[in-house]
């Protein structure tokens, strides 16, 4: 039997890339999701370069704003928000590019480990292809805003490829090798963190490659000490950033309802669940909605057992490294855990998202490809076949998933049924079912729309049953009931909401947004039996409740109440609510603008100037209220 040739490797690689594209392509017909709208709402207003620059620098996702990721959307502004296929196609191409970069990285490392060229190529192809088809990673490319994750990974991989490329120069030209290696890491890590902060882990990936896989290719001693010191310093900085020395591990986060320490215990178990999903890729196990996750999913005993299991796994990997000089189990485990350091430990993000595995999963794919290529004895024939079968299983599962994602209505109803207690799944389904469909030209169109609205209400009510405290679901159901003009049902739903808001109803951004929509419906007479006074009573029930509410959402709701009072010429009540909104969220620019307009209209310029002066004491970088802007506002008061 003739051995595979380099030409067959190249052709197979092209086929693999094409099949990955084909597997993902149905998903490019998919919908937009929750964070897409919040982060890209102003994308369509970027026709002028000044507006484009403002959009790029306006990011509020992450501490650095992620301007490079936002810049990547500007060339596609014309496609937003209607042409999702063009937008998502770019995401898929970035994913395939990342698979190519990962394949190149593996090939270079394997060659440096003295693997024969063709074998190194097949291992690289197998690892990259398996990774590219893993269904757990699908949401990273099919949720538009997660381009932040994939593009950040591109920069990380470019940095690692540059880092590994200079290894052959270490012995003879250490200065040049050092400049290339750490220049590449510095430049691409910096670009990566301004795309998404996860790229800060790039030096840690380099440390794993350097210390576990290429530890025999060292610099002359002074350079070797400096090289290792830089990588260990990056590790120390990340550990400090996550440690109790920098973060409060014990205080309960107001928005999340748990502490960093509690979250860390949860993640110890969840990381094993991610591994299970990577190794048993059933298409029904994946989806974009994980807001149903709570700390009660796992017990303290499960967290302890999971942590012990991680220690045993690392110990087993270390034993293989020391006794058999086999680094792959330890490398796969540490690469996976490194990839989760920022998002799956103590930073108080939501508990679970599938995209957090995007680069973290690759260590497992790499180790499996090496194991298949180096299986001993009789296994040497069957292991590559089993590996190829596993790749095919992943590909078929991915294709089944993307076909569902590419049918937004079917996907929305499927996920709402699969996760009946998920408010996001329910509201997404309601949004898809009731999406604008142009002018209603005849009675049939109106009946179809009414039927779809009724289906959406049924889904929202089902979620309200499973999640009694979900005020956002109930409020959205009330909004839809307004369109049906069912007076009895509107009154019943309002009374239920009033009772819920006074007690334990969860207030979040969806609730705050719904108040603006509801106020518009009521003020234009589109919600029978519901008056602005009803809305004010609802707002007052939120304002008076004893349980804490996140300040930004409370401020927005109070702002709606102030606007209602203002429109009805109850100016003192409007002023009181604006003062409360300011105390809740002094950084909000619209609140100050409304206060100034109100005080000017009432002939109380001193109070307007005092409100402006209070904002001058705040950090302008956090508020967007620069001294120049405040000066202009002050002049408008002094010189009306």
Q: What is the pLDDT of residues 52-78, one digit of tens each?
A: 999 999 888 889 999 999 999 999 999
Q: Within 13 Å and on the Cβ side, how many CA atoms surround 629?
A: 12
Output the six-digit token pair for 380.
Answer: 């040497």
- Say whether pLDDT at 361 is over 50: yes
- Say whether pLDDT at 5 is over 70: no
Model's pTM, two decimal places? 0.92
Note the pLDDT tens digit of each residue in 586-608.
988 899 999 999 999 889 999 99
- Say whether pLDDT at 87 is over 90: yes
* 3-state SS class at 559: helix
Q: Tell me: cis bond preceding 81? Omega within 30 of 0 counts.
A: yes
Query: Among 483, 516, 479, 520, which residue's Cα sits nearest to residue 497?
Result: 479
Q: Are 553 and 512 in contact (CB under 8 A)?
A: yes
Mean pLDDT value of segment 347-358:
96
Note the pLDDT tens digit of each residue in 419-456.
999 999 999 999 999 885 544 445 556 788 888 999 99
What are the start-end ranges of the H helices in 195-281?
Answer: 202-208, 221-242, 260-279
Give long-range contacts, CB 8 A cutoff, 24+ apart: 541-548.
541/498, 541/501, 541/502, 542/501, 542/507, 543/580, 544/502, 545/501, 545/502, 545/503, 547/503, 547/504, 548/254
Q: Are 9 and 126 in contact (CB under 8 A)?
A: no
Residue, of 4 and 577, whose pLDDT is higher: 577
Mean pLDDT value of segment 517-528:
89
């Amino acid at each position: 039997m003739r051995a595979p040739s380099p030409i067959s490797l190249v052709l197979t690689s092209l086929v693999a890339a094409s099949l990955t594209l084909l597997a993902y392509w149905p998903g490019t017909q998919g919908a937009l999701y929750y964070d897409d709208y919040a982060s890209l709402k102003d994308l369509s207003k970027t026709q002028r370069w000044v507006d484009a620059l403002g959009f790029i620098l306006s990011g509020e996702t992450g501490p650095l704003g992620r301007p490079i990721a936002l810049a990547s959307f500007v060339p596609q502004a014309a496609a937003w928000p209607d042409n999702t296929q063009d937008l998502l196609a770019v995401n898929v191409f970035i994913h395939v590019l990342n698979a190519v970069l990962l394949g190149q990285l593996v090939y270079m490392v394997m060659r440096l480990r003295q693997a024969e060229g063709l074998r190194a190529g097949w291992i690289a192809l197998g690892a990259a292809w398996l990774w590219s088809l893993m269904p757990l990673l699908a949401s990273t490319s099919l949720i538009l805003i997660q381009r932040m994750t994939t593009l950040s990974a591109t920069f990380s991989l470019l940095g690692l490829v540059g880092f590994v490329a200079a290894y052959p120069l270490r012995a003879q030209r250490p200065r040049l090798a050092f400049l290339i290696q750490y220049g590449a890491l510095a430049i691409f890590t910096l670009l990566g963190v301004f795309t998404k902060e996860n790229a800060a882990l790039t030096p840690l990936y380099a440390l794993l490659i350097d210390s576990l896989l290429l530890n025999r290719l060292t610099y002359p001693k002074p350079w070797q000490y400096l090289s290792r010191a830089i990588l260990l310093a990056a590790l120390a900085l990340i550990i400090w950033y996550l440690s109790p020395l920098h973060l409060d591990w014990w205080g309960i986060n107001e928005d999340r309802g748990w502490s960093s320490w509690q979250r860390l215990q949860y993640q110890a178990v969840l990381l094993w669940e991610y591994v299970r999903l990577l190794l048993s890729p059933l298409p029904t196990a994946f989806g974009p909605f994980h807001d149903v996750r709570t700390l009660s999913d796992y017990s303290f005993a499960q967290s302890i057992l999971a942590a012990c299991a991680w220690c045993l796994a690392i110990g087993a990997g270390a034993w293989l490294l020391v006794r058999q000089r086999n680094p792959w189990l330890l490398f796969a485990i540490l690469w996976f855990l490194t990839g989760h350091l920022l998002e799956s430990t103590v930073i108080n993000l939501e508990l679970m998202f599938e995209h957090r595995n995007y680069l973290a999963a690759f260590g497992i794919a790499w180790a499996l490809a090496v194991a298949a290529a180096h299986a001993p004895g009789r296994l040497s024939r069957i292991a590559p076949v089993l590996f190829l079968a596993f790749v095919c299983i992943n590909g078929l599962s991915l294709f089944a998933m993307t076909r569902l994602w590419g049918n937004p209505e079917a996907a929305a109803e499927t996920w709402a049924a699969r996760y009946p207690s998920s408010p996001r799944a329910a509201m997404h389904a309601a949004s898809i079912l009731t999406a604008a469909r142009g002018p209603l030209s005849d009675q049939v169109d109106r009946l179809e729309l009414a039927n779809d609205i009724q289906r959406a209400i049924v889904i929202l009510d089902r979620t309200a049953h499973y999640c009694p405290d979900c005020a956002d679901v109930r409020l959205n159901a009330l909004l839809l009931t307004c369109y049906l003009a069912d007076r009895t049902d509107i009154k019943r739903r309002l009374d239920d909401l009033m009772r819920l808001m006074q007690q334990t109803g969860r207030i979040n951004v969806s609730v705050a947004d719904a108040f603006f929509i509801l106020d518009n419906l009521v003020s234009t007479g589109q919600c029978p039996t519901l008056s602005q006074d009803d809305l004010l009573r609802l707002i007052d029930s939120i304002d008076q409740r004893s349980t804490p509410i996140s300040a930004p959402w409370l401020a927005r709701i109070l702002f709606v109440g102030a606007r209602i009072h203002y429109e009805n010429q109850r100016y003192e009540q409007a002023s009181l609510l604006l003062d409360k909104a300011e105390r809740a969220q002094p950084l909000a620019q619209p609140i100050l603008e409304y206060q100034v307009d109100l005080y000017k209209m009432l002939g109380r310029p001193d109070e307007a100037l005092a409100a402006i002066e209070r904002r001058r004491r705040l950090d302008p970088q956090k508020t967007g209220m620069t001294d120049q802007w405040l000066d202009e506002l002050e002049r408008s008061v002094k010189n009306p």
